[in-house]
């Protein structure tokens, strides 16, 4: 399958998309799709560990140990030119190019995207935005809900001029399925103070940027998919292609401190299709900007007290900006300088958005990103998006989407319990989001989805195939469709333990094969347990054959016979006179809780010291199980000692210890049982 080529926007002509709209609108929430055909595989567990290796986790320090990127100490810059160019960089190839400036840009123009916002697949929580204000920064809640879900924690690596690598965290917001809006200094760093008063010089782009949408800050660095720790609520993504304002790169001008991160197609995931994203806005008069209520969610990590601003908590506040640069491109919040009422390190790149319902629908538009502030935290400056930035961002987003169909399964999840017995089906079906994060509009066609059970977080065709299902539907561009998966059945004989269930989908369709499976967070971790033991009949004999023909019987001599006089049920039973005996060998390997069910009676003529006995042995002598004398018919269930369990050498002996013909014992309806 040919992989789609993604060209940097520096190498493509301007797409001609009018400001305020995109080639394809945000995904529609289609109704779930059910399979039109398919079946469970019925294949056995293929045994051992998966043939493929686990997906390696991101190679960065623990999230809670990474410091915030130092908040730059800004100064008013200007005069500003709204057609200031952008620069593109690919960290893998080290290709860098400044993009051309569009001659149609107009400093006096203002615009906002039309219908660009997308609320993702989680719950919608607009009431969240009515809870807080500037001066009352509070911990965000309901991270799985939109608009919270569209805000991200960034982890980025920079290599300084001496070759030392530095890790930092920052913030950002989703601008499209595979694009993050952040600050230019989060993707290109000039210099910084490592905390000891010295200056570290970088003057270079990030090596890599990891994206953690709505990170909840709980637990250690890593945790299994499906848990409540930091890879919740939407997993992670990564990117090595960036866009940043040339004015910041070349001179540190914070009027151009806006940047973008492209999430790598194939080697990462279009996580915005799950989280949703915001629209954009640029321009507008200072009075208009100040009249709007802006909302800002971020991950402050610059220590303020022993417990505040650890970088583990997403905070939110909202309110009005206090002032604008007269000759620049920054808007300002005046801050008292305290922990919960000011701008702090770690908030860099977070988006300040406003809400506009004038079109009849509620839309959110990012106006600016958190940029810089002084050491005393007396104010915080946010860099506004500008026209040339938006023009290049649209091209960047379009090139990220591509125009070639490429289906990607995300978020494979059980709708019921994630614990299942081997040999049983899960108690409910599963769901998976099938997304086409491209501007291609494919025809109605079949989509084949194979369901696998894996011993690690890497779902592949080397794992145990559980089922194959075919879906047929007519999807559009930027499609996000929920596929319903019938409850997977776990093969009998699957050892108890931790497994992952996921899918390999869209093989044979256009697009890259690297994103055809649900790995890591997109796989569903399950626990397979041993099935509860089943009570089984290991051996039985009701003597209705008229003889001792059931396999395993041995007897003292040929005078040991069944008799109609010994029947409890039916016509025949076993009678043992004088010192006659009969015994049976039973293999109890794999059984526990073994016990004997029978009916028995004994003659009343036994002399003192004589009796009818049922005994057991595992090779080291005989032991009494039942001793009777003069008892009438009595149905019994008798438990054997633990030594009789899981033993291939068990023997049961039925023997009369008498001396006369009228001294006897009868048994009928024998059944030897055990749990397996």
* φ and ψ at residue 562, rounded to 5 degrees: -80, 160
Q: What is the mean pLDDT of residues 185-198?
A: 93
Q: What is the mean pLDDT of residues 78-83?
A: 61
Mean per-residue pLDDT of the chain: 88
Most confident segment among 110-119, 177-186, 278-287, 542-551:
177-186
* pLDDT attached to residue 620: 85
Residues 6 or more apart whose Cβ sits within 8 Å of residue 127: none
Examine the pLDDT at 9 and tell me if it is beyond 50.
Answer: no
Examine the pLDDT at 653 and tell me if it is beyond 60.
Answer: yes
- The pairing of beta strand 37-40 with beta strand 165-176: unpaired
* φ and ψ at residue 127, rounded to 5 degrees: -60, -25
* pLDDT attached to residue 16: 31
pLDDT digits (tens, 9 = 90+) for 387-423: 999 999 999 999 999 999 999 999 999 999 999 999 9
Indicate the DSSP class of residue 368. E
* pLDDT attached to residue 24: 63
How many whole angstroms separate alpha carbon 573 and alpha carbon 174? 81
pLDDT digits (tens, 9 = 90+) for 114-134: 767 899 998 888 877 776 666
Domain edges within the chain: 55-401, 407-529, 535-675
pLDDT digits (tens, 9 = 90+) for 513-566: 888 999 989 999 999 999 989 999 999 999 999 999 887 899 999 889 999 999
Examine the pLDDT at 74 and tell me if it is beyond 70.
Answer: no
Tokens coding 592: 């526990």
* pLDDT attached to residue 5: 28
The percent of residues in the chain predicted with pLDDT above 70, rounded, is 89
Angle ∠(640,641,642) on CA atoms, nearest 5: 120
Residues in a beta bridge with 225: none
Judge whether 228 and 218 are in contact, CB under 8 Å. Answer: yes
How many whole angstroms separate alpha carbon 243 and alpha carbon 400? 12
Examine the pLDDT at 95 and tell me if it is beyond 80.
Answer: yes
CATH assignment of 535-675, among 3.40.630.30, 2.60.40.10, 2.60.120.460, 2.60.120.260: 2.60.120.260
Domain 407-529 identical in fold to domain 535-675: no
Closest by Cα among 67, 64, 66, 72 to 370: 72
382: helix, coil or strand?
A: strand
Fold exhibited by the domain 55-401: Thrombin, subunit H (2.40.10)
* pLDDT attached to residue 2: 25
Least confident of 41-50, 117-126, 659-668: 41-50
Which CATH superfamily groups domain 407-529? Immunoglobulins (2.60.40.10)
How many whole angstroms separate alpha carbon 36 and alpha carbon 95? 47
How many whole angstroms separate alpha carbon 226 and alpha carbon 241? 29
pLDDT digits (tens, 9 = 90+) for 603-628: 999 999 999 999 999 998 999 999 99
pLDDT digits (tens, 9 = 90+) for 640-650: 999 999 999 99
CA 594 to chain centroid, in Å, comes to: 43
Closest by Cα among 161, 135, 264 to 210: 264
Examine the pLDDT at 454 and tell me if it is beyond 90.
Answer: yes
* pLDDT attached to residue 75: 62
Closest by Cα among 185, 210, 194, 112 to 381: 185
């Amino acid at each position: 399958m040919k992989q789609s080529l993604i060209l940097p926007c520096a190498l493509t002509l301007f797409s001609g998309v009018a400001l305020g709209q995109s080639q394809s609108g945000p995904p529609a929430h289609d109704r779930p799709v059910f399979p039109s055909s398919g079946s469970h595989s019925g294949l056995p567990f293929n045994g051992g560990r998966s043939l493929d290796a686990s997906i390696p986790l991101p190679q960065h320090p623990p999230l809670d140990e990474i410091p915030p990127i130092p908040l730059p100490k800004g100064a008013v810059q200007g005069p500003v030119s709204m057609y200031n160019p952008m620069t593109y960089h690919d960290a893998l190839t080290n290709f860098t190019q400044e993009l051309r400036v569009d001659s149609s840009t107009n400093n006096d123009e203002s615009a906002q995207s039309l219908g660009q916002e997308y609320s993702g697949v989680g719950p919608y929580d607009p009431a969240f935005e009515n809870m807080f204000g500037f001066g009352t920064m509070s911990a965000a809640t309901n991270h799985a809900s939109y608009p919270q879900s569209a805000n991200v924690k960034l982890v980025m690596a920079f290599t300084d001029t001496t070759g030392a690598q530095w890790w930092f965290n920052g913030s950002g917001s989703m601008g499209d399925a595979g694009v993050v809006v952040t600050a230019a200094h989060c993707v290109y760093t000039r210099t910084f103070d490592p905390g000891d008063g010295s200056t570290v010089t970088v003057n270079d782009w990030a090596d890599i940027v990891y994206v953690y949408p709505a990170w909840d800050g709980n637990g250690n660095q890593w945790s299994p998919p499906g848990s409540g720790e930091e890879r919740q609520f939407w997993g992670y993504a990564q990117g090595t292609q960036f866009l940043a304002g040339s004015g910041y790169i070349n001179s540190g001008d914070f009027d151009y401190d806006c940047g973008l991160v492209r999430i790598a197609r194939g080697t990462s995931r279009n996580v915005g299709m799950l989280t949703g994203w915001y629209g954009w806005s640029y321009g507008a008069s200072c009075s208009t900007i100040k009249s709007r209520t802006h909302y800002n969610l971020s991950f402050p990590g610059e220590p303020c007290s022993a417990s505040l601003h650890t970088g583990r908590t997403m905070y939110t506040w909202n309110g009005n900006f206090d002032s604008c640069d007269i000759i620049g491109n920054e808007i300002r919040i005046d801050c008292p300088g305290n922990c919960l009422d000011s701008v702090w390190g770690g908030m860099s790149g977070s988006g300040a958005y406003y809400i506009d319902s004038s079109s009849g629908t509620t839309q959110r538009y990012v106006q600016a990103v958190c940029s810089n502030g002084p050491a005393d935290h007396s104010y915080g400056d946010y860099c506004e998006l500008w026209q040339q930035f938006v023009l290049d961002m649209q091209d960047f987003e379009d090139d990220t989407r591509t125009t070639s169909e490429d289906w990607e399964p995300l978020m494979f999840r059980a709708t019921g319990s994630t614990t299942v017995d081997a040999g049983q089906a899960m108690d409910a079906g599963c769901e998976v989001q099938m997304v086409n994060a491209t501007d291609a509009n494919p025809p109605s066609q079949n989509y084949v989805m194979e369901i696998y059970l894996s011993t690690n977080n890497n779902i592949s065709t080397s794992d145990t195939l559980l089922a194959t299902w075919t879906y047929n539907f007519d999807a559009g561009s930027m499609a996000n469709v929920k596929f319903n998966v019938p409850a997977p059945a776990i093969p009998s004989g699957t050892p108890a333990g931790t497994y992952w269930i996921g899918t390999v989908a869209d093989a044979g369709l256009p697009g890259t094969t690297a994103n055809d499976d649900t790995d890591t967070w997109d796989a569903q971790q399950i626990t397979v347990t041993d099935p509860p033991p089943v009570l089984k009949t290991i051996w039985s004999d009701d003597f209705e054959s008229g003889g001792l023909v059931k396999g395993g019987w041995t007897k003292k001599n040929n005078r040991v016979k069944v008799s109609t006089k010994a029947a409890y049920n039916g016509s025949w039973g076993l009678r043992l006179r004088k010192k006659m005996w009969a015994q049976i060998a039973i293999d109890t390997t794999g059984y526990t809780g073994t016990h004997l069910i029978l009916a028995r009676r004994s003659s009343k003529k036994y002399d003192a010291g004589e009796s009818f006995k049922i005994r057991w042995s595992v090779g080291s002598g005989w032991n009494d199980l039942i001793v009777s004398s003069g008892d009438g018919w009595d149905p019994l269930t008798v438990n054997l000692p633990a030594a009789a369990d899981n033993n291939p050498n068990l023997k049961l002996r039925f023997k009369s210890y008498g001396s006369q013909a009228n001294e006897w014992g009868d048994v009928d309806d024998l059944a030897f049982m055990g749990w397996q």
